Structure 1
Amino acid sequence: MATDRSRSQAFEVWAPEATTVQVVVGEAAHPLQAVADGWWRTDVPVPGGPIDYGYLIDGAGPYPDPRSRRQPNGVHALSRVYDPDGFAWTDHAWSGRQLAGAVIYELHIGTFTTEGTLDAAAARLDHLVELGVDFVELLPVNAFNGVHNWGYDGVLWYAVHEPYGGPEAYQRFVNSCHAAGLGVIQDVVYNHLGPSGNYLPQFGPYLRTDAASTWGSALNLDGPGSDEVRRYIIDNALGWLGDYHVDGLRLDAVHALVDTRALPLLEELAGAVASLSAAVQRPLSLIAESDLNNPILITSRESGGYGLDAQWNDDFHHALHVALSGEVTGYYADFAAPGALAKTLTGGFFHDGTMSTFRGRHHGRPIDTRTIPPARLVVYSQDHDQIGNRAIGDRPSSTLDDGQLAIAAAVTLLGPFTPMLFMGEEWAASTPWQFFTSHPEPDLGQATARGRLAEFARMGWDESAVPNPQDPQTFLRSKLDWTEKDDGRHARLLAFYRELARIRRERPDLRDQRFASVHADAAADAAWLVLRRERTTLVVNFSADARPLPGIVPAAEVIASFGSCLSAGGDRTLGPHSLVVLDTPPTDSDRHASRTPSEEAAP
């Protein structure tokens, strides 16, 4: 990392196995002196203006700084000094947002707008405020090779991707979000590095040689030298939250972290973030993506867990997707079981120790619903993975009708969990969101495409329809078309999303942080679902036929509906693919439920 000191520049880097280290500034190479724990440091006189630099390790290089803040000419070029403290923040009154009770909106900077920049995204924040969003979650923005990809191939984690606007544009974006009343969650990837531009092994033992995932070599979290590797990760996380004023981090694929130490990295990170949160006096959230269905992630550290604030819950998505679409290929097969969605709504996980036929083994363990509030599960009917990892990146709007899309929105937004929307879903965007890359190396591009085909084969999808990730049109097709949101079905669904967000915000029982307050019943044939809270009942007809739903209070006030809702002979009757939200009086079971407030009571 480089820091500015008046007319000289301080340079320091961790290179524990090097014999000599030099920093190249301009035409000159300056030696660094070895200090403690494998670190090297020096001060170099510098002229005014931008300072580009790189490190020679035992004469090889120059390589970009592992902690580079800016890469104006790409990840293979020299780093440039950037001081984040030089930005003129105006968010001093921002006190942050709690995750409980909030709505998250996931977006990808490169495809959210035509321009694909942070500044262009900031110009669209009014739309998110009107929608009723509380947090904007950005897919990874760290520096990667090429012009565009999803962001999960980052190699310089401290630098903001230059085509998005670089670090100052990122600060402007966060500042604008806070001015609009929106928190920011940044997606970060600590389980692997991208395949091009990763020079970390030239500096030290950042990677394991004995463990890898399908994405690349695992980070060295528990071997010799791992203290500094963990410090590298934790410092990066604290940098987003501190230097860039971010309100939370989404931790990509934590199940791919290989860590055998007594103090797991995730628990150590949670402790460091809690300390920073106390120092800055605003909430800071950590959200894990995990394929393990293991509640230890969201169990408090006092109770022996890792102490993360939330984790993504794919089981909710899968159960809802099957109920709406009937698709049962690949990992969707198990979720065709009767009551799968109701079980997920009331218990959190569907696979809580049950047999997973896709994995060929039992999977997961139950959530302790007495001590873990439902807000610690982030749920969605769409997200970047569940759309982009389909063969053609097709959104549900391409196959489901308006009623089915409205059902997906209602179950997600009015359910007990923390809901997340994926950019464009609120207006049934017609554009796909496909897997795209721009690897400059042809061989790497071809290898990436072959890997995708292998994944699709296991899901039983048509490989012949898969677009080439390297084709620029694949990227351009994935950009949102903002001109369509105010017309036809798009406008109708957008209005309904806004109504649902308002209902969620105005009815306290929908933010109740007790699993005991959640009651769900489903028909044996999965044709209907009744989701009841203390005073709000959502009734859904998944069927293509009108269905009488006995047992629903006929005199209950209709708060909102989509499709047709009739009263006939004392029963509610819902038309095909319809839903109704009712104001219903509490039942005896509600009155006798525990009123002990959750540790994360919603605001």
Structure 2
Amino acid sequence: MFGPKFLDNEEVEFTLWAPYQSEVFLLINGNKYKMEKDEKGYFTATVKAKEGDKYSFLTNKGEIPDPASRYQPEGVHGKSQLVSLQYNWDSKDVKIDPKNLIIYEIHVGTFTKEGTFYSAIEKFDYLVDLGVTAVEVMPVFQFPGKKDWGYDGVYLYAVQNSYGGPYAFMKFTDEAHKRGLSVILDVVYNHVGPEGNYMTILGPYFSSRYKTPWGLTFNFDDAYSDEVRKFVLENVRFWLEIFHVDGLRLDAVHAIYDFSPKHILEEISEIAHSLGKFVIAESDLNDPKIIRKECGYNIDAQWVDDFHHSIHAYITGEKNGYYSDYGSLDDIVKAYTDVFVYDGKYSNFRKKTHGMPVGNLDACKFVVYIQNHDQVGNRGNGERISLLVDKESYKIASALYILSPFIPMIFMGEEYYEKNPFLFFSDFSDPTLIKGVREGRLRENGQTIDPQSDEAFEKSKLSWNIDIEILEYYKKLINIRKEFGNKCSRNVKVNKGENWLSIVMEKIMLLVSFANTELVSPAKGNLILSTTNFPAKVGKGQKITVNKGVGVYLI
């Protein structure tokens, strides 16, 4: 319903939803066509046009691009360009199996030196060798300039021009599928960025009831919301059907406000599941309603910040901000056994009771990590864990999440001990926005490197200086998970002592010492991986003295 549609007779039908406008003209190839308006505020025009033609709309506020543009080669303020999105696929979609899902999160612009989809493809064989099964791509909606995390995107249907545009993304997905890698796309439906958003002059795309810290939020439940919901739901289908992505990661669903009888998240999951696709949500609510099938939204999985915070706070000793709620071995134990550390418990940081128990939901409803773009990038200096803890602690943290029963997600470069930071960066042209971003990042995050600078962007690119020891360690962890892992089953027993943990699952046991200590093995097992001096065999109830590290046993 939205944007250009190629017809059989070398014509293109243009559709624009603009109920605020009394008349709109289509400008293309030097011609001006008056568009017809219907009772719901849709303007249409059908004209002779072809691939590559550039066009725009003339409104009472001036000339604007198409908010449903498929390509913005000149950026967020430039003309839209016609692309038919006809692509000769050479592969089949890769259906996501949560039991075998190992995610690798990338930011296209910093994953390689060139920062394009084509250069990222060159790393696919490396990812296959690593053992991951899915690539999660940070948002690719067209954003201002050439460098941004992607959460300032304003054209939901247009692939970022500096990454290579729509056909490059299709090639990226096609090549991933050839290697058996599924592709998960990070999409943003809680807000749109502040620069290049022309939808405000067209109609009530955005809510007057709710606000987000990042920008205007979509109108999902007020007057005219039917058409706004269609705009977003059609976008869901667009990425899954036209671009063949295998799953979506929904950004910050706690900032998606909807009091309709059927929540927009439930409709998103219904569309995805009808196409055999997978949906992951990011939420800080610790609310299992998001992933419950009964009396919930039936999203397939959600991120678990509690798991990250528990491990990070314990191994780094950090107590600032939200880490003030964490920092004990008890938190790690609870994260393993109950998923949410705060599941109806009072949070001193939030100054209120937070979360709900997950009940009997299985482990593959939850995605865990020790690093991601937020947890690294929202630090003032963008430091990765490789700069915050010693190598043995790094190995412990890696084993704790990769061998957990939950779905693990690796943040690009983590697997080889990347030490370059991942900073926040942007490329706005509006002086007021630039000033606000600079001051805000300094005040709220302590980022001293100018986020608008090329320095922030260039420093954030992966170095690809591979630490072979860590890379081989990650490969071994992934192989153990694939062969012996407790995938999806929350049948886990965790014991703790002074500076140590034991974690017993169905086939493997982790003995973890956070300092040189004596610990007690709760089961009999044979060693299959050790980072220090764990014995080759242990018996049930056996006391062993070990150095700081982790031992993985087959039981």
What TM-score range do you get, normalising by the shorter chain?
over 0.9
Return 321-330 or 188-197, whichever deviates more.
321-330
**Residues 1:522 and 2:513 aligned together:** no
Q: Is the 8 A contact 2:100 2:133 kept in 1?
A: no
The TM-score, its normalising length taken from structure 1, stands at 0.89
Q: Secondary structure at the match of 1:208?
A: coil
Identity of aligned residues (%): 38
SS of residue paired to 1:558: strand
Whichever residue aligns with residue 40 of structure 2, its letter is D
For residue 322 of structure 1, give the secondary structure of its aligned residue in structure 2: helix
CA deviations 1:189-242 (Å, max 9, x no partner) are 111111100011121100112321110122111011111111111111111111
For residue 280 of structure 2, what is the aligned residue in structure 1?
A: 287
- Between stretches 332-341 and 383-392, larger displacement belongs to 332-341
Compute the displacement of 1:8 (Å): 2.1
In 1, the alpha carbon distance for the partners of 2:400 and 2:67 equals 44
5+ residue gaps, structure 2, are none
Instruction: Report the residue type matching 2:502 in the other structure.
Output: V
Encode CA deviations 1:343-380: one digit per residue, 9 max, x unaligned. Answer: 011111000011111111110010012xx111111000
Matched residue type, 2:37: A
The equivalent of 1:587 in structure 2 is: none
Give the letter aligned to residue 421 of structure 1.
Answer: I
Say whether the 8 Å CA contact 2:186–2:250 is kept in structure 1: yes
Partner of 2:76, secondary structure, is coil
Partner of 1:598: none
1:430 to 405, 419, 424: 419
Q: Check if 1:77 corresponds to 2:78.
A: yes
Structure 1 unaligned regions, length at least 5: 278-283, 457-462, 585-603
Counterpart residue type for residue 78 of structure 2:
A
How far apart, in 1, do the equivalents of 2:421 and 2:385 lie?
10
Which residue of the other structure, out of 6, 11, 18, is the alignment partner of 1:8?
11
Letter in 1 for 2:56: G
Aligned to 1:261: 260
Match of 1:255, SS state, is helix
1:533-579 deviations in whole A, cap 9, x for unaligned? 01210111112xx11112344x6210111122248994222212x00
The 5 A counterparts of 1:3-402 are 3-5=5-7, 6-46=9-49, 50-57=52-59, 59-84=60-85, 86-92=86-92, 94-277=93-276, 284-300=277-293, 303-369=294-360, 372-402=361-391
- 3-state secondary structure, aligned to 2:232: helix
1:557 equivalent in alignment to 2:526: yes
**Residue 494 in structure 1 maps to residue 471 in structure 2:** yes
Distance in 2 separating the partners of 1:134 and 1:272: 23
SS in 2 for 1:11: strand
Indicate which of 397, 403, 408 corresponds to 1:419. 408
Task: Give per-residue Cα distances to partners, 1:163-212, cap 9 Å, x unaligned.
Answer: 00000000000000000110000000111111100011121100112321
Matched, 1:536 2:512: no
1:146 and 1:439 in contact (8 A); partners too: yes
The residue type equivalent to 1:475 in the other structure is F
Q: Is the 8 A contact 1:100 1:376 kept in 2?
A: no
2:443 paired residue among 454, 460, 466: 454
**Residue aligning to 2:457:** 475
Kindly state the Cα deviation for residue 245 of structure 1 after the two structures are TM-superposed: 0.3
Q: How far off its partner does 1:445 sit? A: 1.3
Give the Å deviation of 1:338.
Answer: 4.5
Q: Please state whether the residue corresponding to 1:273 is helix, strand or coil.
A: helix
Which amino acid in 2 is paired with 1:184?
V
> How far did 1:510 drift?
1.9
Structure 2: which amino acid aligns with 1:580?
G
Contact persistence 1:206–1:219 (CA under 8 A): yes
- What is the alpha-carbon distance in structure 2 between the residues aligned to residue 492 and residue 392 of structure 1? 26
Letter in 1 for 2:168: A
Instruction: Please name the residue that 2:428 is paired with.
Output: 439
Residues 111-144 of structure 1: per-residue CA shift (max 9 Å, x gap): 0000000000011001110111011000001101
Aligned partners of 1:431 and 1:481 also within 8 Å: yes
For 1:518 and 1:510, how far apart are their aligned partners in 2? 8
Alpha-carbon distance, 1:17 to partner = 2.6
Cα distance in 2 between the residues matched to 1:338 and 1:128: 33
Q: Report how far residue 154 of structure 1 moved.
A: 0.2
**Aligned pairs (5 A) from 1:397-412:** 397-412=386-401
Q: Which amino acid aligns with 1:90?
A: D
> CA contact under 8 A between 1:23 and 1:54: conserved in structure 2?
yes
1:600 maps to what in 2?
none
Distance 1:427 1:177, change over 3 A: same
Residue type matched to 1:550 in 2? V
Alignment partner, residue 460 of structure 1: none
- What whole-Å deviation, never above 9, does each CA across 1:80-133 have from its counterpart, x for those lacking one? 11112x1010113x4422123310000000000000000000110011101110
Aligned partners of 1:3 and 1:10 also within 8 Å: yes
Bigger shift: residues 130-139 or 265-274: 265-274
Q: CA shift at 1:28, angstroms?
A: 1.6
Q: In the alignment, what sits opposite 1:599? A: none
What is the aligned residue count?
549
**Aligned-residue CA RMSD (Å):** 1.5
Q: Distance in 2 between matches of 1:443 and 1:528?
A: 51
- Give the secondary structure class of the aligned counterpart of 2:144: coil
Distance (Å, rounded) in 1 between the aligned partners of 2:520 and 2:453: 53
SS of residue paired to 1:88 = coil
Distance 1:421 1:95 in 2: 19
What secondary structure does 1:213 align onto? coil
Matches of 1:574 and 1:252 in 2, distance apart?
42
CA spacing shift, 1:18–1:410, aligned 2, 3 Å: same
Q: Distance in 2 between matches of 1:134 and 1:95?
A: 10
Q: Distance in 1 between matches of 2:262 and 2:15?
A: 28
Shift in Å, 1:44: 1.1
Give the aligned residue type for 2:65: P
1:61 CA drift (Å): 2.6
| SS at 2:227 equivalent | helix
Q: How far apart, CA to CA, are the structure 2 residues paired with 1:561 and 1:241?
A: 42
Partner of 1:2: helix, strand, or coil? strand
Equivalent-residue separation in structure 1 for 2:547 and 2:431 (angstroms): 53
Return the match for 1:510 from 486, 491, 496: 486
Q: How far off is 1:466 after superposition?
A: 2.4
Whole-angstrom CA distance in 2 between matches of 1:338 and 1:113: 37
Q: Distance in 1 between matches of 2:99 and 2:200?
A: 40
- TM-score of the pair, normalised by structure 2: 0.96
Q: Is the 8 A contact 1:552 1:572 kept in 2?
A: no
Confirm or deny: 8 A CA contact 1:323 1:542 kept in the other structure: no
Structure 1 position 514, deviation (Å) = 2.8
